């Protein structure tokens, strides 16, 4: 496989393993440390609310970050927000974050750190975007391929916004699905 090319089997395997790990993680948290986790999540929700969830998701989906927005989605869910509230807020925020990432890539393709990102951590995304920009955004929206990096790469290689925007809407069902599996893991042990 050429350097930078995306291994579809590996990506699918990472997706499946990630889903299982989220269920197991939330079941484990619910079983072993339910009270402190709920207390922390409720404090976070009471302090930041849905506005904090929205802001965290926009930032984490517009810039390459080591923390996925899923962490804050979990806090919102465990802190008392409904699956639908958290899904709508994170879905819309993620779409906005991806579009901001595209704008960042579009406006800064010549900046050194963006070139380094697309040559390092973002190599798979950049390679895929150069070959098939639409597929890269879809994979970034739905799989472990970093969404923000895919959108930055899309902007950097000149992908038109009218092609990008509808594909970023795939983040909405993705967020709903991940919140559902978080809830499934938590409820499986907490009732």
Residue ranges of domains in the chain: 8-190
Closest CA to 25 of 97, 64, 94, 74: 74
First to last CA, the chain: 46
**What's the rounded Cα separation, in Å, for the pair 24 and 187?**
11
**What's the rounded Cα separation, in Å, for the pair 189 and 38?**
14
Q: What is the pLDDT of residue 107?
A: 87
pLDDT band at 128 (very low <50, low <70, confident <90, very high): confident
The larger pLDDT score, comparing residue 2 to residue 16, is at: 16
**What's the rounded Cα separation, in Å, for the pair 27 and 15?**
18
Model confidence at 65: pLDDT above 90:
no
* 121 touches 86 (CB < 8 A): no
What are the tens digits of pLDDT across the range 100-121? 999 999 988 777 776 676 666 6
Q: What is the pLDDT of residue 110?
A: 72
**What's the rounded Cα separation, in Å, for the pair 99 and 104?**
9
Burial class (CB in 10 A: 0-12, 13-18, 19+), 162: exposed
Q: Which of 62-66, 109-113, 117-121, 149-153 has the lowest mean pLDDT?
A: 117-121
The larger pLDDT score, comparing residue 124 to residue 46, is at: 46
Q: What is the pLDDT of residue 111?
A: 73
Tell me what the mean pLDDT of segment 44-67 comes to: 96
**What's the rounded Cα separation, in Å, for the pair 78 and 84?**
13
pLDDT band at 99 (very low <50, low <70, confident <90, very high): very high
Model confidence at 6: pLDDT above 80:
no
Model confidence at 46: pLDDT above 60:
yes
58, 101, 118, 131, 190 from 65: Cα distances, Å: 11, 12, 14, 24, 31
């Amino acid at each position: 496989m050429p350097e930078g090319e995306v291994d579809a089997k590996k990506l699918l395997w990472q997706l499946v393993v990630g889903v299982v790990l989220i269920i197991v993680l939330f079941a484990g948290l619910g079983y072993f440390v339910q009270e402190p986790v709920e207390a922390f999540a409720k404090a976070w929700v009471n302090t930041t609310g849905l506005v904090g969830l929205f802001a965290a998701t926009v930032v984490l989906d517009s810039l390459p970050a080591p923390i996925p927005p899923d962490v804050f989605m979990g806090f919102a869910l465990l802190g008392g927000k409904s699956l639908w509230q958290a899904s709508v807020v994170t879905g819309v925020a993620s779409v906005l974050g991806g579009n901001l990432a595209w704008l960042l890539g579009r406006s800064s393709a010549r900046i050194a750190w963006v070139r380094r990102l697309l040559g390092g951590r973002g190599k798979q995304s950049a390679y895929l975007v150069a070959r098939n920009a639409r597929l890269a955004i879809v994979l970034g929206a739905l799989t472990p391929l970093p969404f923000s990096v895919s959108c930055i790469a899309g902007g950097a290689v000149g992908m038109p916004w009218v092609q990008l925007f509808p594909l970023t809407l795939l983040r909405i069902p993705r967020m709903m699905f991940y919140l559902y599996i978080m809830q499934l893991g938590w409820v499986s042990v907490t009732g």
